[in-house]
Structures are given as structure tokens and as C-alpha cells.
Amino acid sequence: MSLRLRHSAADWCFLTAAMDPRQYYRDLAEAGFTAVEMVRAEHRELARQAGLVLLTHSAAGIEQGLNHRSHHAELLPKIRQAIQEASQAGIRHVIVFSGMRLGLSEDAGITGCIEGLRQLAGDAERARVGLLLEVLSEVVHPDHHCSRMSFAREVVTQVASPAVRILYDLFHATHMGDDVIREATTHLELIGHLHVAALSNRSRPRAGELPDYPRITQALCQAGYDGWWGHEFLPTGEVMQELRQSLAHLDQSAAAAPGGTGPAGRQAQG
């Protein structure tokens, strides 16, 4: 029997004020999604009732982040609060950010992130919550420091905590020129989660668009990635139709992976 990839959807992209959240989560589950991301507190129980995993919660620091030591005194307590909120709500991961470069060198920014995350790793481990350092492109987030896999992997390797991993956003990484297949397969053990969208207008993944998701899904399935594929694109039409199309595109791509090592060959764990 063919088994599909695990799919999540980020609320900020898809759940609008005009939609009924209860029905939206039911529709997500019916479409084959098993998790949701960045869910507002008042909607979390509705997502749980639909059988969806609460996967990520976003912490402060996207602009004034972990890279600058001068931010730590104010930022670290906020991230600790986010860790506790995630733990109490049953959310698996907290997304953290390097912040903007603001003239800081690459080495100094990496060192700042390492020092900040080392102070937070114990809190995350005790709370059984993962910390995900996200790669964001400077095209969408000008001056963002952690804009390539090379920055993120150096930080996560040096922190050396099982609670600290990379959120490798394939849309952002492709914008910055990463060879995403090589980076993701070579450093798979450092990746805790993936986000997906097409390069063109941050639309849904589809054939003929970059990133090349047929090649990416097959390569990562063969390499052993069994985490979620987080859909984080900007729909231009009917939301659930585009989500179903995006899910189907990734599933069909992965099903073509040779050797039976994709979702048709094993059950994802966790």
C-alpha cells in the first residue's frame, strides 16, 4: 500500500478571518494534512479536535534576533516563555531566528546564535520542545543573517543539542542560491523541519517551477527524511483546492522515488 508524505500547513498563509476555523481544520485533515503550524491560541483546541498535530510556534526575534549578544538579555526570556507555552499546549517545536545582520560579521553572528541557543537548549530539552533555527532569504527578509544553510548548520553543529535543529525553508534557500538537494541530503541529521513554496510569487509547488520538488522529494525520501513537509505558500485561488494540489504534487513526486525507499516503502516515524 502506498503511504504518503507527512504534510503540515501554516495558518498565517491559509486561515483568513472570513473562514470558519473549525471547518478549515476539518477540511485540512480530510485533504490529508496531519499537522498545522503557528496556530493562534484560541484555535488550538479546534485543530486538536480535527486530529491535527500542533507542530510549530514562532518566537520573537525575526528582526532583533540571536545573532547580536546585545539582544540576548531581552530576547532569551521571550523565547523561554515561548518554549513553556509550546510545552503546555503540546506544540512540538518553537521557531527561532538569527535576526538582521545590522553590520555584524558572519562569524560574530554565528557566535551570537551559538551562545544564545546554548543557553536555551537546556530549557527546550527539559520541556521536550524542539528549537528550529529558520533559514530566511534576504530577498524576502532584507539583511537577514541566517540566509543560507552554511550559517544554520554551523550554529546547530556547535550547539550540539538534540533539541536544536534547522528549519530548512526550501523556498527561501533556493532564493539565496543554495543547492538545496545537496545541502539537505548531506546534512539531513541537522534538519528538523522543511517549508515549501514555489519561487515564482511564493505560489504553490507545481511542475515546471523552482524549487524542483519532484527531484527534492525523491532525494530526501531516499536519504531518509521522514519529517513533515510544511506548506507555506500564498494561494491566489480557492485555499483548500490549492492545498490539495500542493499536497498531491509532493506525494506524486515522492511516490516516483526508485528503490522503494520513499513513502511507498516505509512508514514515517514520530
Q: Is the pLDDT of residue 34 over 50?
A: yes
Q: Which residues contact 132 (CB under 8 A, 6 or more apart)?
A: 56, 93, 94, 95, 96, 165, 166, 167, 192, 193
Backbone angles phi and psi of 10, in degrees to 5? -85, 125
Q: Which residues contact 112 (CB under 8 A, 6 or more apart)?
A: 66, 67, 68, 69, 72, 104
Query: Rounded distance, CA 192 to CA 145, Å?
Result: 19
Per-residue model confidence (pLDDT) at position 256: 76
The cell for 242 is 490549492
Tell me the per-residue pLDDT of 112-127, one tens digit each, with 9 for 90 and over: 999 999 999 999 999 9
C-alpha atoms less than 13 angstroms from C-alpha of 210 in its C-beta half-sphere:
12
Going from the N-terminus, what domains does the chain have, and what CATH number goes with each? Answer: 6-260 (3.20.20.150)
Alpha helix (H) residue ranges in 62-105: 72-89
Percent of the chain with pLDDT over 90: 90
In this structure, how many other beta carbons lie within 10 angstroms of the beta carbon of residue 81?
13
Q: Closest by alpha carbon to 232, among 58, 100, 41, 87? A: 58
Per-residue model confidence (pLDDT) at position 230: 98
